[in-house]
Structures are given as C-alpha cells and as structure tokens.
C-alpha cells in the first residue's frame, strides 16, 4: 500500500474504519432535494507545475476542492503524469485549460473568504490551518504568495501565535470547528520520516498537496500528531478525545496516510492499534483529483453494476495443484491511480500476444472507489473484461486497511457488515486479511468465523501476517495449505496459509524468489493442493518481472485460478475429504 509496505508489514499498527456501507447509503438517500449534489456538464483543467512553491500548490488544490464541492466535477488539476493519463483513459476532454495562477485569481474572486497564514513560520500547523479553511469555505493564502488575504475570515498568524504547537493548534481547531467537519484525515506537513529521533523530527520537505482538494470537497478534519499514538503523551490524549468524541461513527476510517514512526515500516499506518480504544482504520488516499472523481457523478451503491468475469467451471482434479495469484496493496488509492494502472495495461498487452495463454490473476482493489472514484473502478472492471481472466478481491482487511481482530466486538460486527456490503457491490467473494502477529488465534476463533454465515458473501480469506517475516500459523504442518472455518449456522469460510512474493532477486529468501524458483516451489506442492500467493511491490516485484515470467515456466499440473475459484475449490475439497456434521 505505499512505497514502504515492505516495512509496513514488518511493524504496523493499524486500525479499521468507517461507517457501515449500508448506513452511508441510507444517509445519501435522505438528502433533501435542495441539497442534492450538482454535477457539471463540462470541466476546466488547471495546469499546476509540480515544482511550484508549496503555498501555491496548497491554495490551488484547496480551490479545486471548493469548486468541486459547489459544482461536482468542475475542476481537474493536472500536476503529475498520471493525471493526464486518466483523462485519456476515461476519454474526458476539458472545456478549457488554464494556468494555476490565473485559476487562483479567479477562485479568490469567487470565494472571497480567506485564511491568512505564514508558510515559513507555521508549516507544522498546516493540518489545522487547512481544517479551518475548509470548514469556513475559505482559501488558505500564505503571506509568501503574491495573492493577498486582506480581510481574513481567520488569521492563523494571530490566532495560532500563542497556540504554536501541533497539539495546541489541533485542540483549538477541533474545539472550534470539529463539528463542521465530516471525517478524519492524516496528512504529513513535511516531517522527516526517518529522523534519528522519531518523536521529534524536523521539517525537511514541503507539505505534499496531493489530497488537499479532497479535504476541501469533503470538509475533513486534518491532523498529524507525531506522538498521537504514543501512550502517555499529551498528543495521544488529544487524538483519543478527537476520535472518541462521538462526532463520527466507528470504526473510524482515516483518509490520507500516517507515515510517522518509521521503524522497519510505518508503525501506525494501519491506525487500529494506535489508541487504546482500537477503533480506527486507514483509507490510504494520498493522491490528487479525488474531489473531481468523487463529485462528478453519483456513487455506485448497488450490487450488479460492477460485474466480475465469469469464474468458469473448474472441476477439481486431485492430481493438480491450484494457485491463485493476488496483486496486493490495492487498498492504496494512489497505487490504483498510478502503478496498478500501468501494470494492468502491461497485462493487456501481454495477453494480446498470440503465444500467451493469459492465465488468471486477481487484483486487490479499494472498496471505497465506488464512492470516491466510480469512473476509475469502472475502468478497471472494463479492462478486466478485455482479457476475461482478470478478477478482483477485497484488499487488507476488507472494508478498511486494519487489523480487525484488535477491534472491539461491536466494531468487529460493523466491520464485517461493511465488508460484506463492499463484496456485494464489487461482485466478489474473497478478501485479503492482515492481522497482528499475536492476534491470529483470536482471528481464527472469533473474528473470521463471523464471515461464515449462510446469508454472507465472503467465502475466501487470504491472510498476511504482520510482521510478514513471522509465520501466522506455526502449528500447521507443511502440507496444510488452508483451513475451513464453520459458522454458527453451518456455513463456512476458507482461510489460506499465507504465502508472499515481494521481489525476485534473492533465491535464498523465500519472499524474493526468481520466477524460476517460484515455479519450482509450486510444482513441488503435494498433488491436490489449493493455495494462494500474495504479491507486493515493495521489494522490487512488478507484474512484468514476476507473474508474466512465471506463467511460462509452470508445469502442466499447476493450474492458476482466481481467488474466488480457489476458495470454492478448497471448500469443496474440505467437504469431500473431511465432511463436518
């Protein structure tokens, strides 16, 4: 899920999140007609230089969010290479293309309210400054900009003069404006991520402007407290007050990304184990133009709109080995907007070759795309149908990137309900599941059986242990590749043994095998094996240097299948060989 997911897996602390999907939907259906969303019939593209000064980038992105909040899908910002790529992919043509400076001038005229601040002196307070500006529907204008903020609706240089720490500024912003916000986001204002003292890092870079547009379109409360997850710290008490104020349902989904405390991976990126209340989860969204995609059309709420490829009728053969390859980290929406787009286009080109059998592969994909980028997820589903062999699975750990077994019982039930609804909307039956190394007994005994219901949707679970180097199920014999769990009503769900492939350059390390060595490993599995392999890119693996090479090396008795097909086969084999009462 981000460039350091290699490490992520090593030491994470994650928490689940967000309201149950059905609850979100009922709220949308009850919006008064006068408050119904308005969609633009045409849009303006704004050219923003990625090397432009940070205050200009922040102001332009804030304006894009404000404009898209007022008229959905009216502004698109072209700043990174993939921004232009998506316009091509979706065949979207702007009515006009304007320069960032001209756009900002027009925006300030349309939204005269402004927030004055000093970027040089108040950079670490930017999360609170952006929160206030978004709540006031005001443009954040730094003193360093040529665009003045002559009559500010909020003067941060004055109000935050005696509240000059992130803790004090965040407390003021929440007490004063928290009830005007709709959810939580974490955005790093520019702290060094690998500082010698992780509890007190310096500001060593500018604040990235990606996702600021989404903050302003959704009126999110932005926070970044370095010690917010450290027990006994004042920032921890403050974050606990914010999360448990009752203003937002739990498990609380946190947009953005918590890239603090880099300890062989971002220790708190998953959010779940950040607070003693264990009621947060991550929605990684550090990417631009989400205000455009989330407002330009209605979200996809109903099952049947997104249709997976037909799974086919694979008949179990005990002389064969069945393997589902899962492309991981699809919970990270930035990956979906960048590398995974590239990989899928490479996959299409590879499948078009005459000598390619186009073996099945399964992509993990964010369940939030139907709401925050419905055009994008429709593109993925449409491309999958060009091959007929590409499938989808929920990413870790279903509804949110989290460690579900660490949640409270009530939040676990809400999480399961939300994940089941996500699966219905996405038309799939399997999920990737991450859990902390010491919670797998709890997962197997109490949490995962919650999916084993006759009226449930999830039938396959592909686990990943955190830290990934440790064995999740050390008591399993080597020839055990899955376990079928029964629910209270006799239904079941299959849990596969974790197997990860992270790179291809070290045959002495099982996580970094070359395609040839991986093919030899799969070929040596006992006949009748049904299993899965989870692929991540943080160790240098990509689709071209791994899966595309591997499929040409597999012996005939190894058959690749989708994640949902593997789950069905495993359940059928288990029922045949060890029937349960």
Domains of the chain are 21-248 (no CATH), 321-577 (3.20.20.490)
Q: Please give the DSSP secondary-structure letter assigned to residue 354.
A: T
Gap between the Cα atoms of 139 and 149, Å rounded: 9
Half-sphere exposure of 42 (CA within 13 A, CB side): 6
Please determine, for residue 493, whether its predicted confidence score (pLDDT) is greater than 90: yes
How confident is the model over 449-461, as pLDDT tens digits? 999 999 999 999 9
Tell me if 458 sits within 8 A of 544, measured CB to CB. Answer: no
- 3-class SS of residue 47: strand
Measured torsion, CA atoms of residues 368, 372, 374, 377, in degrees rounded to the nearest 10: -50
Average pLDDT score over residue span 352-363: 90
Gap between the Cα atoms of 350 and 547, Å rounded: 11
Structure tokens at 147: 């665009």
Dump the DSSP string for 110-167: HS--EEEE-HHHHGGGHHHHHHHHHHTT-EEEETTSSS--SS-SEEHHHHTSS--SHH
**Adjacent-strand bridge partners of 184:** 221, 254
Average pLDDT score over residue span 303-332: 96
Structure tokens at 288: 């631009």
Gap between the Cα atoms of 284 and 300, Å rounded: 20
Q: Is the peptide bond before 251 cis (omega within 30 degrees of 0)?
A: yes
**Distance between alpha carbon 543 and the CA centroid of its chain, in Å?**
20
Looking at residue 537, its pLDDT comes to: 92
Structure tokens at 124: 């670490």
Looking at residue 429, its pLDDT comes to: 98
Average pLDDT score over residue span 394-405: 97
Average pLDDT score over residue span 140-161: 96
Burial of residue 277 (CB within 10 Å: 0-12, 13-18, 19+) is: middle
Q: Length of the chain, please? A: 581
Dump the DSSP string for 80-116: SHHHHHHHHHTT---SEEEEHHHHHHHHHHHS--EEE
Tell me if 166 sits within 8 A of 131, measured CB to CB. Answer: no
Say if strands 221-223 and 184-186 run parallel, antiparallel, or are unpaired. Answer: parallel
Backbone angles phi, psi at 566, to 5 degrees: -60, -40
Looking at residue 575, its pLDDT comes to: 62
Q: How many CB atoms lie within 10 A of CB 544?
A: 14
For the chain, the distance separating the N- and C-terminal CA atoms, rounded to the nearest angstrom, is: 41
Please determine, for residue 121, whether its predicted confidence score (pLDDT) is greater than 50: yes
Please determine, for residue 124, whether its predicted confidence score (pLDDT) is greater than 50: yes
Residue with the two structure tokens 């993925």 = 380
Average pLDDT score over residue span 279-285: 97
How confident is the model over 502-522, as pLDDT tens digits? 999 999 999 999 999 999 999
Give the confidence band of 34 by pLDDT, cuts at 50, 70, 90.
Answer: low
Burial of residue 313 (CB within 10 Å: 0-12, 13-18, 19+) is: exposed
Looking at residue 9, its pLDDT comes to: 41
Gap between the Cα atoms of 528 and 507, Å rounded: 26
- 3-class SS of residue 485: strand
Please determine, for residue 579, whether its predicted confidence score (pLDDT) is greater than 60: no
Residues 6+ apart with CB under 8 A from 420: 451, 456, 457, 458
Average pLDDT score over residue span 248-273: 91
Gap between the Cα atoms of 555 and 522, Å rounded: 9
Say if strands 75-78 and 221-223 run parallel, antiparallel, or are unpaired. Answer: unpaired
Average pLDDT score over residue span 475-499: 95
Gap between the Cα atoms of 378 and 300, Å rounded: 10
The residue ranking higher by pLDDT, 581 or 101, is 101
Please determine, for residue 498, whether its predicted confidence score (pLDDT) is greater than 60: yes
Determine which of 33-47, 152-166, 271-285, 410-424 has the lowest per-residue pLDDT on average: 33-47
Q: What percent of the chain has pLDDT over 70?
A: 93
Looking at residue 519, its pLDDT comes to: 98
Half-sphere exposure of 48 (CA within 13 A, CB side): 29
How confident is the model over 66-107, as pLDDT tens digits? 999 999 999 999 999 999 999 999 999 999 999 999 999 999
Structure tokens at 300: 């996809």
The three-point CA angle 283-79-218 to 5° equals: 40
Question: Quick one: angle between helices 374-387 and 339-351, nearest 10?
Answer: 20
Please determine, for residue 322, whether its predicted confidence score (pLDDT) is greater than 50: yes
Looking at residue 357, its pLDDT comes to: 82
Please determine, for residue 163, whether its predicted confidence score (pLDDT) is greater than 90: yes
Measured torsion, CA atoms of residues 5, 6, 8, 10, in degrees rounded to the nearest 10: 170
Gap between the Cα atoms of 78 and 51, Å rounded: 13
Which residue in 68, 3, 5 sits closest to 396, CA to CA? Answer: 5
Gap between the Cα atoms of 510 and 531, Å rounded: 16
The residue ranking higher by pLDDT, 578 or 446, is 446
Say if strands 482-486 and 492-496 run parallel, antiparallel, or are unpaired. Answer: antiparallel
Backbone angles phi, psi at 508, to 5 degrees: -85, -15
Give the DSSP H/E element, type plus range, for residue 379: helix 374-387
Tell me if 181 sits within 8 A of 221, measured CB to CB. Answer: yes
């Amino acid at each position: 899920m981000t460039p350091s997911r290699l490490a992520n897996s090593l030491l994470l602390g994650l928490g689940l999140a967000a309201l149950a999907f059905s609850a979100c939907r009922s709220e949308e259906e009850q919006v008064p007609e006068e408050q119904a969303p308005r969609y633009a019939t045409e849009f303006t593209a704004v050219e923003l230089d990625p090397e432009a000064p940070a205050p200009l980038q922040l102001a332009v992105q804030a304006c894009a969010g404000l404009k898209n909040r007022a008229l959905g899908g009216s502004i698109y910002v072209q700043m990174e290479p993939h921004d232009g790529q998506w316009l091509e992919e979706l065949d979207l043509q702007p009515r006009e293309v304007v320069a960032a400076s001209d756009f900002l001038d027009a925006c300030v005229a349309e939204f005269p309210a402004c927030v004055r601040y000093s970027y040089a002196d108040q950079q670490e307070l930017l999360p609170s400054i952006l929160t206030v500006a978004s709540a006031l529907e005001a443009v954040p204008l730094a003193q360093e900009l040529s665009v003045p903020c002559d009559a500010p609706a909020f003067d941060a240089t004055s109000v935050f003069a005696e509240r000059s720490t992130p803790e004090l500024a965040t407390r003021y912003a929440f007490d004063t404006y928290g009830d005007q916000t709709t959810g939580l986001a974490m955005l790093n204002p520019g702290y060094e991520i690998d500082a010698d003292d992780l509890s007190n890092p310096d500001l060593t870079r500018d604040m990235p402007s990606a996702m600021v547009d989404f903050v302003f379109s959704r009126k999110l409360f932005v926070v970044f407290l370095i010690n917010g997850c450290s027990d006994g710290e004042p920032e921890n008490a403050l974050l606990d007050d914010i999360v448990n104020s009752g203003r937002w349902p739990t498990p609380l989904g946190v947009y953005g990304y918590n890239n603090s405390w880099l300890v062989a991976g971002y220790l708190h990126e998953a959010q779940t184990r950040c607070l003693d209340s264990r009621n947060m989860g991550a929605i990684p969204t550090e990417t631009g133009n989400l205000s455009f995609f989330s407002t330009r059309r209605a979200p996809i709420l109903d099952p049947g709109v997104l249709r997976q490829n037909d799974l086919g009728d694979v008949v179990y053969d005990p002389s064969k080995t069945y393997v589902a390859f899962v492309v991981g980290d699809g919970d990270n929406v930035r990956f979906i907007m960048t590398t995974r787009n590239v990989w899928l286009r490479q996959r299409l080109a590879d499948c078009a070759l005459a000598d390619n059998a186009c073996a099945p592969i399964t992509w993990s994909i964010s369940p939030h795309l139907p709401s925050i980028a419905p055009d994008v997820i429709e593109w993925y589903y449409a491309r999958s149908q060009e091959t007929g062999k590409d499938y989808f699975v929920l990413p870790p750990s279903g509804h949110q990137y989290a460690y579900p077994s660490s949640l409270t019982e009530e939040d676990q039930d809400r999480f399961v309900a939300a994940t089941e609804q996500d699966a219905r909307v996405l038309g799939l039956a399997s999920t990737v599941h991450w859990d902390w190394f010491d919670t797998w007994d709890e997962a197997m005994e109490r949490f995962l059986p919650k999916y084993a219901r006759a009226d449930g949707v999830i039938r396959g679970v592909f686990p990943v242990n955190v830290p990934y180097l440790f064995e999740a199920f050390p008591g399993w014999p080597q020839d055990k590749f899955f376990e079928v769990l029964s629910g209270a009503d006799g239904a079941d769900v299959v849990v596969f043994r974790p197997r990860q492939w992270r790179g291809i350059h070290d045959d002495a390390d099982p996580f970094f095998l070359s395609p040839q060595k991986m093919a030899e490993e799969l070929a040596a599995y006992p006949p009748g094996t049904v299993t899965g392999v989870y692929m991540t890119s943080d160790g240098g693996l990509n689709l071209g240097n791994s899966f595309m090479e591997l499929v040409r090396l597999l012996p005939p008795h190894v058959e690749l299948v989708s994640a949902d097909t593997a789950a069905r086969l495993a359940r059928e084999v288990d029922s045949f060989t060890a029937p349960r009462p």
